[in-house]
Amino acid sequence: MSPVFALAVDIGGTKLAAALVEPGGRIAHYDRMQTPVDLDAEGLWRSLEALLDKLLAEAGGGDLAGVGVGCGGPMRWPSAEVSPLNIPAWRDFPLRERLRARHPGLPVRVHNDAICMAVGEHWRGAGRGRDNVLGMVVSTGVGGGLILGGHLIDGASGNAGHIGHVVVDPEGPPCKCGGRGCLEAVARGPGLVAWAQEQGWRPDRAEVTGVELADDARRGHPVATAAMRRAGRALGVAIASATHLCDLEVVSVGGGLSQAGPLLFDPLEEAFRAHARMDFAREVRVVPAALGQTAGLIGAAALVFAADRYWSAD
């Protein structure tokens, strides 16, 4: 019997990744490339097609059950005209329509990349077996996805899960969204890096991100440590709010910043426990994401293989 795969795709500003994923969630074949930065919309599409052709050729056969895609937002959903913040070449690019034309007769499902990561963590990661889970990504931005009652919550426009814009301090720093004191404004990597540099952090590399800051925190740099504490506290407050509003069981936290480990999770837990005080919030666990870099691909595959739980649209 010929194997059955989901073709899973993860489209971000740094890399394009694709995989053939088995119905159980195992990645059977994988390939990736840097996201081209100097191509126009059609050139970028042809690069993606070449990556998919190569992957399918390497796999040498097997039936496709469908195509699942996580893509940086924003997008019109579920039609998936995508305008990823970090991919300027695509503005209202008809990603779903193109993939449907390429794979006629197959279901093609596209969702926000952070939502796919949350779905992956729920399907096969830290949230497995629980019905009420928030999956978070703390990186250049802060995103997430919300599974309640065992089903992915889409909200009015496919944007549910945007915990990065939960307010943690109404008088806090301005946010790119135009608001003030959003979790993302405090805890996103570049925001933390800027804060740490203001406080006297002088990294010995030219280009720094939250990952280098987390590294320096692990090495004991006091300002880098303070930056992780600042992010951890903001995360703890936002997660407490989400827990009370949605009556969660598990919150998984992934993304580059989560590599700081206890330096992030200890202040997070402290602030979370200080604010999540309703009886029903006592059992909630906040844990590091389990799937790492492949969470988004596995979640994209779940849009195909577990559509009853993760895909509510047409």
Q: How far is the CB of 99 from its own copies (least distance, A)?
A: 23
Q: Give the CA dihedral 122, 123, 124, 126, nearest 10 degrees.
A: 10
Number of residues lying near its own copies (CB under 8 A): 53
| Dist. CA 92–CA 313, nearest whole Å | 19
Q: Choose between 11 and 115: whose C-beta lies nearer to its own copies.
A: 115
Show contacts with its own copies in window 50-89 (CB under 8 A).
Answer: 74
Please report, for residues 8, 140, 217, the alpha-carbon distance to residue 211 in angstroms, rounded to integers and kept in the order given.
26, 10, 10
Q: How far is the CB of 57 from its own copies (least distance, A)?
A: 39
314 scored as a contact of its own copies (CB under 8 A): no
Residue that is written with structure tokens 């629980």 in the block: 130
Rg (CA), the chain: 19
99 scored as a contact of its own copies (CB under 8 A): no
Q: Amino acid identity of 66?
A: G
Among 159, 203, 269, 307, binds its own copies (CB under 8 A): 159
157 scored as a contact of its own copies (CB under 8 A): yes
Q: How far is the CB of 279 from its own copies (least distance, A)?
A: 7
Collapsing DSSP states into helix, strand and coil, what is residue 15? strand
Whether omega for the bond prior to residue 78 falls within 30 degrees of 0, making it cis, is yes
Token pair, residue 199, equals 């406080």
**Strand blocks (E) in the chain:** 4-11, 15-21, 27-34, 63-71, 75-76, 81-82, 93-94, 108-112, 133-138, 142-148, 151-152, 250-254, 285-288
Q: Choose between 221 and 275: whose C-beta lies nearer to its own copies.
A: 275
Q: Choose between 35 and 132: whose C-beta lies nearer to its own copies.
A: 132
Among 40, 86, 274, 292, binds its own copies (CB under 8 A): 274
| Dist. CA 196–CA 280, nearest whole Å | 36
Q: Are the beta carbons of 66 and 109 closer than 8 angstroms?
A: yes
Q: How far is the CB of 174 from its own copies (least distance, A)?
A: 10
Q: Choose between 25 and 73: whose C-beta lies nearer to its own copies.
A: 73
Among 148, 194, 223, 307, binds its own copies (CB under 8 A): 148
Show contacts with its own copies in window 168-227 (CB under 8 A).
Answer: 168-170, 175, 177-182
211 CB-contact burial (10 Å; exposed 0-12 / middle 13-18 / buried 19+): middle
Binding mask 232-271 for its own copies (x = CB under 8 A): -x---x--xxx-xxxxxx---------------------x
Q: Could you tell me which of 122, 99, 5 has the C-alpha nearest to residue 48?
A: 99
Please report, for residues 143, 145, 153, the alpha-carbon distance to residue 161 in angstroms, rounded to integers and kept in the order given.
7, 4, 8
129 scored as a contact of its own copies (CB under 8 A): no
Q: Choose between 221 and 229: whose C-beta lies nearer to its own copies.
A: 229
How many C-beta neighbours within 10 Å does residue 118 have? 35
Among 4, 167, 287, 290, binds its own copies (CB under 8 A): 167
308 scored as a contact of its own copies (CB under 8 A): no
118 scored as a contact of its own copies (CB under 8 A): no
Q: Which stretch binds its own copies (CB under 8 A): 51-59, 251-259, 279-287, 300-308?
A: 279-287
Residues making contact with its own copies (CB under 8 A)? 74, 131-132, 146, 148-149, 151, 153-170, 175, 177-182, 233, 237, 240-242, 244-249, 271, 274-280, 283, 312
